[in-house]
């Protein structure tokens, strides 16, 4: 549950900085690499920084796109870099694409009313159900799906002339939004998708993840982190059963022990978690005959 608690903390901090977080994130990405290592794409009205890692093979298998996000519930930039290095060693060109998770902005009306009603917040806190989840109060699924579709279109346009397969990898809330975004726009279909513990912190949307995985029109590798968080755990078995009942031909669910995931500030240090993701991804692509 440690990752879940960190997610709550990061979401709370991010909602305070929501108006500047996108610019700060992309600025941080550019500062983390040497000049020339970051390529800028236009995604809607925003500049999208991507990091490219070339395949260590004369005949690349294709392009793997890793969607990273600064929240611990997703693949971080450091983890994405480690994963990209391992995939490139197996013959994949890799693109690391940081994604900004949109959050609901506090309304101006709420801010103005706080001075007039000093006891309102206290009353609201008292009325919150003890089992309610603050994640759902800040996460905006429609905005996330829309922003992700814009980013995916930019990425697909960038790699459209490349030879080989297209592999996408995402985790947590970004993975859930990816499955929904491709369902809404079939032109975004990958050749395969690696979903790591997909979830969304709202019951109705989280239930849709099960259906969307089962009905997806592309091969899905479902990597499930043990005890990742409650939202992913409650759909874990249902995702597998639903895919089986839907007669989904290319689907595999693999459990990854929770103690294999840990935080590292050094991108060159390969965690057991990332090694498991890389090894299972390579095994999956070989199963597909690539």
With H, G, I as helix, E, B as strand and everything else as coil, classify residue 195. Answer: strand
pLDDT of residue 107: 54
pLDDT in tens, 198-222: 999 999 999 999 999 999 999 999 9
Q: Which two tokens stand for residue 89?
A: 């060693």
CATH at 230: 3.40.50.1820
pLDDT of residue 71: 76
Gap between the terminal Cα atoms of the chain: 36
C-alpha 116, offset from chain centre: 40
Q: Cα–Cα distance between 56 and 233 in angstroms, integer?
A: 37
pLDDT in tens, 47-84: 889 999 999 999 999 999 999 998 778 899 989 999 99
Q: What does each of the 290 residues of the chain score in pLDDT, given as a tens digit?
A: 444 444 444 444 444 444 445 556 677 787 778 778 899 998 888 888 999 999 999 999 999 999 999 877 889 998 999 999 999 999 999 999 999 888 776 555 444 444 444 444 434 433 333 444 555 567 899 999 999 999 999 999 999 999 999 999 999 999 999 999 999 999 999 999 999 999 999 999 999 999 999 999 999 999 999 888 899 999 999 999 999 999 999 999 999 986 544 555 554 557 888 999 999 999 999 999 99
Quote the pTM value.
Answer: 0.83
Per the structure, the count of domains in the chain is 1
On whether the CB atoms of residues 136 and 201 are closer than 8 A, the answer is yes
Beta strands in the chain (DSSP E): 38-43, 46-53, 62-68, 92-98, 165-171, 192-196, 220-225, 251-256
Enclosing domain of residue 37? 2-287
């Amino acid at each position: 549950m440690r990752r879940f608690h960190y997610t709550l903390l990061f979401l709370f901090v991010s909602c305070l900085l929501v108006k500047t977080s996108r610019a700060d994130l992309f600025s941080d990405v550019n500062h983390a690499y040497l000049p020339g290592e970051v390529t800028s794409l236009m995604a809607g009205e925003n500049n999208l920084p991507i990091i490219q890692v070339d395949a260590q093979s004369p005949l690349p298998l294709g392009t793997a796109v890793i969607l990273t996000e600064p929240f611990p519930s997703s693949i971080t930039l450091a983890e994405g870099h480690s994963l990209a290095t391992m995939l490139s060693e197996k013959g994949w060109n890799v693109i690391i694409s940081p994604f900004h998770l949109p959050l609901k902005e506090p309304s101006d009306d709420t801010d103005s009313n706080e001075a007039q009603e000093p006891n309102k917040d206290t009353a609201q806190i008292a009325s919150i159900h003890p089992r309610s989840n603050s994640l759902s109060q800040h996460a905006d699924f429609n905005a996330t799906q829309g922003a992700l579709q814009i980013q995916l279109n930019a990425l697909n346009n960038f790699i459209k002339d490349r030879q080989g397969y297209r592999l996408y990898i995402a985790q947590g809330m970004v993975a859930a939004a990816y499955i929904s975004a491709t369902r809404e726009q079939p032109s975004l279909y990958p050749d395969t998708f690696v979903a790591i513990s997909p979830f969304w912190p709202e019951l109705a949307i989280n239930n849709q993840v099960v259906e969307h995985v089962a009905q997806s029109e592309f091969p899905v590798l479902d990597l499930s982190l043990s005890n990742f968080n409650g939202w992913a755990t409650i759909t874990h078995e249902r995702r597998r059963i639903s895919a089986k009942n839907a007669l989904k031909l290319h689907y595999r669910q693999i459990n990854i022990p929770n103690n294999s995931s840990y935080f590292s500030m050094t991108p060159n240090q390969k965690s057991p978690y990332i090694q498991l993701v890389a090894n299972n991804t390579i095994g999956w692509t070989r199963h597909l005959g690539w």
